[in-house]
Structures are given as C-alpha cells and as structure tokens.
Amino acid sequence: MVNGNLAHQFVVSPESKVTIDEMPVKWCTISLSEMVKRGKRLEASFYDVEAKQAHKIIVEGKYPITMLGGEKGLTTSYTGARFKRIWVEKSEYPIYQPSTIMDIKPTPDGYISAITDTNIDALRVSKGQILMTCSGTIGKVSLVSNTLDGLIFSHDLLRINCKNVNDVGYVYAFLKSKIGNKILLTNSYGAVITHIEPEHLATVPIPNAPDVLKQKIGNLILRSYTLRDESNDLINTAIKMLMDELQLPKIDDMVVNYFKKDASVQTFNVKLSDMEYRLDASYHVPVVDAIIDHLKRHAAEVTIVGDKRISKSVILPGRFKRVYVDERYGRVFFGGKQLLELDPTNTKYLSVSQHDKRMKEELELKENTILITRSGTIGKTAVVPKHWVNWVASEDILRIVPANEDIAGYLYIFLLSEYGAKLIERYAYGSVISHIDDAHIRQIPVPILKNHDIQEKINSLALEANKKRYEAYRLEQKALEVLDKEVIYAK
C-alpha cells in the first residue's frame, strides 16, 4: 500500500551531482540478414562495434582497397608444421616463443635437440618478414630485422612475406595501426577471430595507397628497426666490456665448490653463520657464492643496490583494486609481461579519477628508473626510456631509482647480465608462484670497477642505447600518424 504521492522524492534538483560513466556505452545496429548470416547469434559480444566502423572507414576511404593476402593480395604467409619438441639443457638450437616477438631484445625459451623430428631450419625467420602471433594473444606484430634474423621460432607463428619488398614497412604499419589491427582480429561482420590462419589474410582489406606514400611510411618503420638493432648492439658491447673488465667467464664455466663433485645431483654444504634465516636450497646455490667471490677478487669494491651511491630508493608499490577505463579517461598501464617491449601500449588504461594519487606517489615511471619483475617470472629487467615517462606500471614491478645518471646505465647493464640475473633469482621465495620484494633488491651485490673510465663507458653505452629506443618509438609513431592522416582518414 502506498501512502500519498511519492513521485516528488525522485525529482533531481539542480544542485544534485551527476556521475558520468568513464566507460560510455558502445552501440551499433545489426541488420536481420547479417544476424542470420552469423548463425542467428544475438550476443552483443559477437559483434564488435569498432570493427564494423573500421571496415567502413577502409572500404569508403580515399584510396581503392586491395586484400592483405590471397592470390592478388600484397602478401603470402605460412605457419610451421607442428612437431614434438625434444628439450635439452643446452644445444645449438635455441627456440623462441611467439610472445617474444614483441620484446626489443628477446631471449630464448629453451633449447631443442638436433634430433627433434622436424625441419629446424624451416622454423627460422628471415630479415624482412613480418611476424604475427596467431593463437592465444593474437594479432601482435613485429618485423624481422638484424636482431631476429635467423632465429628459431615456434611453429605457431604466422610468417608474412610481402610480394613487393617496398611494401614491408607499409604493411607492418597498417597491421600495427588501431584500424588495421581491429580489422585483422575480426571478419567483415564484426565477429571476433580466435585464431588467425594464413587464408584469413585474404579477407583483410588494406588501402592500396600510392607508392610514394607507402615508401614514406615504410622508410620510417625500417629506420625505427635499425635503431632498435643499434641499441641492442650497444647493450651487447656494454655487457662484453663488463665481463672483460671483471674477467668473468661464461657462467657455465664458473668454478663452483660442490660438496661432492661426482654426485648425480648437486650437493653442497652451508655454514650456520651463512644461513641468513633462509632454509630453502635455492637461496644457497653455490654458483651465486662463486660469482660473489669472483667479483670481490676482480672489482675495486662490491657494494649493494641499497648503497646511497647506487640508488636513491627501491620502490615496491602496494597492491590495489584496479579500475580500467577507455583510453580517453585513463593512463597507459602495463605489467611484467610487457616489460621488455618497446611500446607496451594498446593494453589497458588505468582510471585517472580513481587512481590519480596512487599513480603520482607510487606507480608512474621516471626516465632511467630500473624496473624488475617481482612475481611469476622473476628478474626481467628494463630501464625506463623517455617515452615511458609518466606511464603507469603494475605493482608487480619493482622500481630502482638510481642515485644519479652516472650510475643508472651501469647498474642496468650489471643487473641485465646473466650474472646479475643469478643474483636476483637467488632471493626468490614461494612454492608455486615465486616472489621477491624491495628488501631483497636492496641486498643485491654490485661491483664497482677498478677502471672508472670503463665503468663510465659502460654507463654511457647503456644510456645511448636507451635514447635510441626512444627515437625508434618516435619514428614508429610518426609512421602510424602518417598512415592515419594521409591514408586511412585522408579525404
């Protein structure tokens, strides 16, 4: 029973605050015939609004369209044959996972035996190919330059060859663009594709721009990848200088003091005074002790990351419930999986209104800060380039703020080396998912070189490599901007 007219209680007064949703509703219309063709599916998730708009933009654009693949398309593509891998501890055949194509300096997932029943050389990628992840997280794109040339990748990776070599950079840029990637991941009806096969590229439209525009875009992309190669060369040079100065052998050749050298398993003893309240064997691995002893013999001094001469602070952000929003309302947010990528964007955006204070105090990044993954895969290391400044990284990534620019590059090189990685990994704890924290990072040993000129040179090489990576990012963004303005949205 209702007493009186309560309608007046729901009238919104002029002073009332109106909350605007940061994720506005996206909508589109679907014709009945289109719904029937799509198997009479009524779920909204089956029809991607943005994909339908992207198709329309390309088809109604300034330039005529051609197809990405197919007999008359711009490319041919293939994947490798499936095979059973025979893993070994070490071999001449390091193999890389498809997910690592986005890493600026990828590392192998493991090694396969020469007797693996497949054509191993057919799995190698070659310079000028475009690589694309085609299962799992699909549609990630990379270009084979000097860094990847000749490497062995899993069969489950799409290798794309352009029929005209001058189209390579242009096709890559289109697949990296928001419009191109959106079309790639859906079909003409807007239905999401869950696995990409070579024949799928024959249904992807691409503007057939004039050669002069293709060349303009392509040159920017190729120059971007040249800079990435140059940055990797500088990093490799810096690591070699570090090894030579400290007279470090290959880590497998490090002399380790095992308790019983001819035992079928590694055995060693630990003094009670060296336990440091850690009973897990992984903390006391002899190779770590061997590395530290070697550093003490060949360095002027061995200090720790927490030394004020080395770092201002080590930051472990607190955990929090994340609020993700549309790009317009948030800041670029990425996690440990994207840490080694040049451009870890197009992932997620963290709400500014909900997390602004936390982002400013703990999460946003500063140039030359060293980042280390702290859970899951421990010890992935990167240094913040200029274009990451004020972006936001996950709380699962530890931050080392170097004491100054004169030590930042050197510290990064040491922690990036296989010796630094071993020193990081020793602190891992947890039976299922490994973790480290800021207290562990502060205790990592760091050698100060006897030759200060060499240390300064290593530092400058690392910082120069970081600048090249920023320039590489800037050139790729310029190429995507030209593609948008002069091709996709051209009038």
Structure-token pair, residue 86: 């025979």
Residue 76: exposure state from Cβ atoms within 10 A (0-12, 13-18, ≥19): middle
Do 130 and 263 fall within a single domain?
A: no
Nearest CA among 417, 20, 446 for reference residue 241 = 417
Q: Is the pLDDT of residue 66 over 90?
A: yes
| Domain endpoint, select from 174, 208, 242 | 208
Structure-token pair, residue 411: 């510290």
- SS3 for 453? helix
Q: Do the domain assignments include residue 18?
A: no
Q: Do the domain assignments include residue 127?
A: yes
Do 122 and 235 fall within a single domain?
A: no
What pLDDT is recorded for position 479?
Answer: 98
Do 168 and 247 fall within a single domain?
A: no
Q: Do the domain assignments include residue 478?
A: no
What pLDDT is recorded for position 25?
Answer: 64
**pLDDT tier, 258 (very low <50, low <70, confident <90, very high otherwise):** low
- Domain count for the chain: 2
| 98-120 confidence digits (pLDDT tens) | 989 999 999 999 999 999 989 99
Do 200 and 312 fall within a single domain?
A: no
| 364-374 confidence digits (pLDDT tens) | 999 999 999 99
| 443-456 confidence digits (pLDDT tens) | 999 999 999 999 99
pLDDT mean over 117-136 = 92
| 134-187 confidence digits (pLDDT tens) | 887 888 999 999 999 999 998 889 999 999 999 999 999 999 999 999 888 876
CATH number at residue 120: 3.90.220.20
Do 325 and 458 fall within a single domain?
A: yes
Q: Do the domain assignments include residue 183?
A: yes
Do 117 and 154 fall within a single domain?
A: yes
Do 361 and 412 fall within a single domain?
A: yes
pLDDT mean over 277-299 = 84
Q: Is the pLDDT of residue 259 over 70?
A: no
Distance CA 109, CA 366 (A): 30
Do 244 and 196 fall within a single domain?
A: no
Do 249 and 353 fall within a single domain?
A: yes
Q: Is the pLDDT of residue 254 over 90?
A: no
Handedness of CA 462, 463, 466, 472 (dihedral sign): negative
Do 296 and 440 fall within a single domain?
A: yes
75 phi and psi, to 5 degrees?
-135, 165
Q: Do the domain assignments include residue 13?
A: no
**pLDDT tier, 12 (very low <50, low <70, confident <90, very high otherwise):** very low
What pLDDT is recorded for position 20?
Answer: 44
- SS3 for 66? strand
pTM strictly above 0.85 = yes
Q: Do the domain assignments include residue 25?
A: no
Q: Do the domain assignments include residue 182?
A: yes
Distance CA 233, CA 465 (A): 8
Do 357 and 420 fall within a single domain?
A: yes
Between the CA of residue 321 and those of 16, 324, 396, what are the distances in Å? Answer: 28, 10, 13
**90-94, 125-129, 195-199, range with the lowest pLDDT:** 195-199
**What percentage of the chain carries pLDDT values higher than 90?**
60
Do 167 and 246 fall within a single domain?
A: no
Domain interval for residue 54: 32-208
Q: Do the domain assignments include residue 258?
A: yes
